[in-house]
């Protein structure tokens, strides 16, 4: 038999079989402009409510190796806890800060238009405190244009925004009724912010932040510099192959503080249930989350 006639069919068969193999799913990266609140906070699944309780351990002189003992200490009463409620579209619907006696310390409700864009939030604190609210305005392209914050009937702060062609904010001008500052944002090819510049009222750069991402669009490194290129803050995120945020390292170079958050007890949606916070090698707090899904 002609050897060339044997090799040719085998080559064709190899190509056909290769084409039949299951191809890996393409990586889809959501631009910042299109993210809901869950995506912005690296939370997965159809979350309805998150209850969060933090237990402080400053007086216990523990390290991360004492995590089992530390968990036992969380049986004591928590000073306060927080409830975040989300609508089915993944946007924050309400935020509640509840005190140890069950009284509501802060309640904030968010309202949205028919495009799932925030139109207003209303916050109530102590009974004697006036309402605080934020109002939002959008341009003819349905991109954010202005935000105003009121305390009672008084306007206390406003933001004017400029956006790019997909709705990402490229600059914001903040007016707190005493002085005006500006912040600019630059985005990478995936629509993720990679550079943030904060300006002082006189127009000089106050801070510069650079942000790097992995191939899945998750933030990995964030460096913050003061004017003069002095590194003052550094943040690093470590993820598992499933996208779980395993660890977050934060360094405050100005005050020589190093904080590491370790995440554990993940549920089936890959959301963590327990966070250990280590400050300068001492275990200072444990945060527990109870997550309800739609």
Is the model's pLDDT at 44 over the cut of 90? yes
**Residue 15 has what pLDDT?**
54
| CB contact at 8 A, 85 and 92 | yes
Indicate whether 3 pLDDT > 60: no
156 by DSSP, 3-state: which? strand
pLDDT at residue 223, as a whole number? 98
pLDDT above 90: percentage of residues in the chain: 76
For 110, phi then psi, to 5°, come to -110, 135
- How many C-beta atoms lie closer than 10 Å to residue 290's C-beta? 12
CATH topology of domain 34-293: Porin (2.40.160)
pLDDT of amino acid 178: 94
At 192, give phi and psi (nearest 5°).
Answer: -105, 135
Q: How confident is the model at residue 132 (pLDDT cuts 50, 70, 90)?
A: very high
**Per-residue pLDDT band at 127 (split at 50, 70, 90):** confident
Tally of CB atoms within 10 A around 271 = 21
Q: Which helix (H) or strand (E) holds 189?
A: none
> CA separation (Å) from 212 to 42, 171, 245?
16, 20, 15
pTM, two decimals, is: 0.86
Q: Which sequence spans correspond to the domains of the chain?
A: 34-293
Residue-wise pLDDT for 71-122, tens only, equals 776 666 577 799 999 999 999 999 999 987 788 899 999 999 999 999 999 9
- Work out the average pLDDT over 124-147: 94
**pLDDT averaged over every residue in the chain:** 90
- Note the pLDDT of residue 80: 78
């Amino acid at each position: 038999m002609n050897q060339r006639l044997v090799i040719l069919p085998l080559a064709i068969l190899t190509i056909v079989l290769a084409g039949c193999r299951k191809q890996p799913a393409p990586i889809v990266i959501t631009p910042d402009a299109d993210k809901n609140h869950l995506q912005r906070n690296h939370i997965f699944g159809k979350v309805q409510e998150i209850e969060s309780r933090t237990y402080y351990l400053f007086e216990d002189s523990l390290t991360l190796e004492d995590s089992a003992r530390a968990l036992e200490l969380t049986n004591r009463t928590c000073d306060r806890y927080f409830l975040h409620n989300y609508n089915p579209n993944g946007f924050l619907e309400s935020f509640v800060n509840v005190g140890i006696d069950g009284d509501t310390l802060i309640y904030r409700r968010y309202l949205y238009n028919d495009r799932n864009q925030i139109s207003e939030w209303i916050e109530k604190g102590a009974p004697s405190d006036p309402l605080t609210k934020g109002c939002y305005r959008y341009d003819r392209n349905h991109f954010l244009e202005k935000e105003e914050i009121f305390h009672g009937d008084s306007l206390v702060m406003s933001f004017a925004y400029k956006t790019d062609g997909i709705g990402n904010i490229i600059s914001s001008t903040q007016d707190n009724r005493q002085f005006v500052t500006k912040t600019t944002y630059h985005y990478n090819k995936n629509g993720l912010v990679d550079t943030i510049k904060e300006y002082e009222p006189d127009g000089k750069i106050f801070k510069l932040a650079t942000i790097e991402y992995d191939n899945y669009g998750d933030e990995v490194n964030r460096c913050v510099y003061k004017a003069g290129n002095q590194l003052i803050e550094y943040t690093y995120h470590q993820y598992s192959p499933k996208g779980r945020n395993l660890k977050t390292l934060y360094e405050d170079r100005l005050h020589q503080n190093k904080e590491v958050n370790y995440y554990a007890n993940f549920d089936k949606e890959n959301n963590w249930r327990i966070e250990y916070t280590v400050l300068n090698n001492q275990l200072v707090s444990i945060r527990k989350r109870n997550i309800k899904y739609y």
